[in-house]
Structure 1
Amino acid sequence: MAAAMLTHTVSAAGRSTGLRALSVSAGRCRNQKVPPRVRKEPVEIPGLEPITYVDRGYYVPWLARPRLTAWRVDWNPQFYHSPPAEEMELYKEEPSYVFNPKCRLLGGVKQALWLTKSKLIQGLPQRILNICEDPAFKFPNHEELVQNVIYNACLWSTTGKEQEREEYCPKLLQGLLHLCRVQNCTYPALSQRSFVENWRLATSWRKESTLYHVRGANGLLMSAKTPFEPLASSSEIEATQQHTLDSLYPLSPAIDLQEVNVYKERNDLGFRTGFPFFHPHTIYLTEPCSTKAKFLPDQLRAKMIMIAFGTAVAKAKDLYGENAKTLPQPIVVQSVSTDGQLFHFLVLQLNTLDLESNDGVKNIVWMDGDQALYDTVAAKATIKRKVVVVPAGLAGFKPETFVKFWAMYLNGAI
C-alpha cells in the first residue's frame, strides 16, 4: 500500500514538472520572433511557358504568379529611382568629403584647424577689444534691454510650461540683433548691411591631395558693402610659418564627413550678380536644436570654423580666381554662435589658399568661447530640501557677453 502511494506521488510530481516545462517552453515560443516567410522562387523548366493569371486580373491559386516589369512613372518624382552611382554623369573614382551643417566633428576644434590649415589664438582681436573698452561706443541702457530680451524669449512668449531650446534659442538671437539694428541712427554705416537667412554655400579645397567641400544651407548671414580690413599685420602673418599643426593620429582627418563619389567642384557664395552687399561680415549660427544629439560646445566651435573658412574661401576664389594661392589681401569673416545660453565668438582671417601642405603661411583664427549670457532662467523656483536650487526668473546675468556681441556687430562700421 505504501509503495502504491509512493508511486502515485512520484507520478503526480513528474506530471507537474512536465506541465511546468511545457508552460516555460510555450512562453519562450511566444517571446521568440517568428522569422519572415520566404517566398519560394518559381521553378523554371526550359522550353515550357508557365500559365499565369495575368490575363484574368486577379489571383488564382492554381496558376503561376506572373513576373511583371517594374512600373515607372517618369513624370512623378515620388516614384523616381536614381540610377547606380557608377552610371551617373558626375561620378568620379576619387572620393571627396563633404561638411554640411549637420556634421558633428569628433575631433572638434583640433580637427577643424587641421582641415583649414589655421592657427588658433585664444581671445578676440585687439580691434574688437578696443570697441568693448571704449566708452564712446557703449550701448546705452543695454543691461535692462538685454534682460527684457531674455525674458521675452524664455518666459513672456508662453503661458504654459518653460519653452524648449528650439523655441527660445532663435528668439533670443533675433532679439539681440534687433537691439543692435536700433542703433542704425547713431552709426549710419550700420545701414549699409543686409541680412540673408538660410543662405547656401558651396566651395571646395584640397588638403594633402584630398578634396573637401563645404555645402548646405546655414544660419543667418550679415553682409556689407565694404570688406573688413586685415586684423593681423604682415609680420604676424609671416610668423605663422613657424606654427605646427597638431596631428590627429589615430583619427582620420575626414572622420564624420560624408564620403561621396558623385560631386562637382562648385564655388558659390549664395549671392546673385549685382547684389550690392557682396562682402560677408558675420555668420550667426544657433545650435541645431531639432536634432536628437545635441552639439557639444567644442563641436559647435568647430562648425563655426568650417563655415567661416568656407565662406572666406568662396569669397577669395570669387575675387582672385579659382587657382589663386597667394592672396593680395587677406579676407576676414566673423562668426557668432549660441545654444540659447552660451555664446561663442570667432574671427577668421584667410591668409593663403595653398592648403595642400602643412608648411608655409597659416590662416589665423581668434576664438573666445563659452561666454554665458546668464546662469539660469526659470518660470518657477526649484526647491530641494527647503533650499532654493534654481531661483525663479533670471539669475546670474552677465552683461559683458552682450558687450562682445555688440562690438562684433559694430566692427567695420566705425
Structure 2
Amino acid sequence: MLRSLTRPCTALTTLSPSRLSPLTPHPPPPLAAHPAVSSPRLFSASSSSRGRRADITRRWLPPAPSIPGLERVSYGSREHFVPGLAHPPRESWERGWLAPRQGGRRATSDNAAVVGGEQQQAFVFHPRTQLVEGERQALWLTKSVLRPGLPPSLQALVAVAKAEAEAGDLSARALRAVEHARLWDLGETRPPRQRFCEVLWRDLMTVCHSLAPRYPGILERSLVEGAKIGVSWQRGPESVHARGPHGAVLVGRAPLGRIASPEETESASGEPLPDFSPISPLIDLQRVHVTHTATTTGIREGFPYPHAHTLFLLEGLDECCRLSASQLRAKMLVFSFAHALAQARALYGEAPLRSLPVPVVVQSVATNGRVFHFSALQLNTTELRGGDGPRNAAWTLGDQLLYDFAKTRPLVHKRLVQVPVGVSGFNPSTFYTFLAFFLNGAL
C-alpha cells in the first residue's frame, strides 16, 4: 500500500523510450496525482506499521455505512475484551453536575438560549486590564463624575481618627508596622514587594482593629479574601463585564451611609462625561463571547455580612502586571462600582432604576507598600445605557506617601550619609486617612 503511493508502476510512462536505460533511476512521481493525497507529503514504512494498516491512512477511509441488520458484532455485551470481535461504540456520558475544572458548562436557565443559539459579545474588565486613559476611562465605564479629594463626611472622620491615634499612640504602632514589614526580614537587603506589601497591610489592619473596645461596630464586620466578582451592565449598545479576583474586601452587616447630598447628586446630572472620540472607550477591554451574565460577588447567600464596606487592592503582588497610579485608581473605581451595582441589584432587583431610593456607597484603598490611594464611590443610578440622567459620584485621593525610605544599609554619597538606616520620612496623615476609612460606619 505504501509502496504504491510513492512509486506507482504508471510512472514509467512519463519518460520517452530513448531516455530509458538500465542505469537510469525511476523518477519520483508527483504525489498530488494520487486521489488519496491532498498535499505533497512523503511517507515511509516503519516497523510499527508492518502487518497492519498505517494509522496515517485511516483518516482517508470513509465511515462505515450503517445498514440495519448488519451491525458489527462487538464484545460490549460480554463486558470483557474478546479477540476477533469489534470494539463497542462509545456512548456519551454526562456527569450530572458541573465540575469546575473538568468538562464544559451545563446549559442552565440563564445561558440555555445562548448556548443553543448565537453567543453574546461583551467587553470584560479583569484585574490585569490597563486603561490607557486611567481614571477618565473608568468614569465613562461607570457613568460617574469625579470629585478631587475626599468628601466632607470623610474629611470630618480624618480629624476624629487623628484624635484617636494621638490618644492611643497608634501612630507609633503604625511606624513599628512599617519597620516590621521592611526591616525585620532578616537575610535580605530588601524584602520583595510581594512580601512586605501584604505584611504592612495586615499590620495596619491589626492596629485599626485595636479600637474595637471603643467602637463595637468594628466587630460587626468580616474580611473576605480571594472572592471573585462577576457583574455585567449595558453601557451604550455594548455589554460590559467586571470579573475576577481583585483582592480583599471588608464586609459588614449594614451598608454605609450616603456621602453626597441629594442636591449634589442633582447638580451633577448636567455634567458631561469624558469624550474619547474617535477612539472607543472600550478599546482596552478584552472582547469575549459570554455564555452567562449572572451577578455574583463571591459571597454565598445567607452570609451574615452581605454589604461591601471597603476594597483593599495590593499592587505589586502580580509580577506579570504593573499598573501606573492612574490605572490603579481606575481599577479601584471599576471594582468599587461593580460591588455597589451587585449590592443595589440584591436590594432593589435586576431592573434598571433611574434613581435609587437609598444610594450605595463602597470605599477602596490601594497600596504598593509605600504609596496609598483612597477612593469612594456612591451609586445613585443603575440606568447606565444612556448618557443622560443622574450620575454616580466618585472621589479619589491618590499618591499619599506613608514613608519616604526604609533602608537596612545607609545610602552614602560623596562620603555623606544621604539616607540613614531605618524608616525615614514617616507621614502619619496617611495613616489617619486609612484609619478614617476603617472607622466609617462604626462611629
Q: Which band: TM-score by shorter chain?
A: 0.7 to 0.9
1:90-239 paired onto structure 2 within 5 Å: 92-134=118-160, 137-138=164-165, 140-239=168-267
Measured on the aligned residues, the alpha-carbon RMSD in Å equals 3.1
Change (3 A) 1:304 1:59: same
* 2:379–2:393 Cα contact (<8 Å) kept: yes
Larger radius of gyration: 2
2:426 corresponds in structure 1 to 397
* 2:375–2:394 Cα contact (<8 Å) kept: yes
SS in 2 for 1:329: coil
1:66 corresponds in structure 2 to 56
Deviations along 1:54-109, one digit per CA (max 9) or x if unpaired, are 9x86267xx9672466xx99999999799xxxx98277454210111111111100
1-side partners of 2:219 and 2:35: how far apart? 81
Equivalent position amino acid for 1:119 in 2: V
Equivalent position amino acid for 1:203 in 2: V
SS in 2 for 1:366: strand
Q: Does 1:410 align with 2:439?
A: yes
1-side partners of 2:182 and 2:57: how far apart? 60
Gaps of 5+ in 2: 1-29, 38-42, 60-89, 106-112
Deviations along 1:300-354, one digit per CA (max 9) or x if unpaired, are 0000000000000111111111113131110000000001111001110000011
Equivalent position amino acid for 1:95 in 2: Q
1:233-312 paired onto structure 2 within 5 Å: 233-312=261-340
Change (3 A) 1:298 1:77: closer
2-side partners of 1:81 and 1:319: how far apart? 32
Q: Which of the numbers 397, 400, 407 marks the counterpart of 1:371? A: 400
Q: Which of the numbers 343, 348, 353 marks the counterpart of 2:372? A: 343
Change (3 A) 1:199 1:68: farther
CA positional deviation for 1:278: 0.9
1:31 corresponds in structure 2 to none
* 1:348–1:365 Cα contact (<8 Å) kept: yes
TM-score, length-scaled by structure 2: 0.75
2-side partners of 1:188 and 1:331: how far apart? 23
Deviations along 1:9-66, one digit per CA (max 9) or x if unpaired, are xxxxxxxxxxxxxxxxxxxxxxxxxxxxxxx98874369xxxx999x86267xx9672
2:347 corresponds in structure 1 to 319
CA positional deviation for 1:263: 3.1
Change (3 A) 1:186 1:77: closer
Change (3 A) 1:81 1:211: closer
SS in 2 for 1:121: strand
Change (3 A) 1:136 1:400: closer
Change (3 A) 1:158 1:231: same
SS in 2 for 1:252: coil
Change (3 A) 1:119 1:137: same
1-side partners of 2:116 and 2:277: how far apart? 32
Change (3 A) 1:224 1:156: same
SS in 2 for 1:202: strand
Q: Does 1:358 align with 2:387?
A: yes
SS in 2 for 1:89: helix
1:12 corresponds in structure 2 to none
1-side partners of 2:156 and 2:259: how far apart? 13
Q: Does 1:331 align with 2:355?
A: no
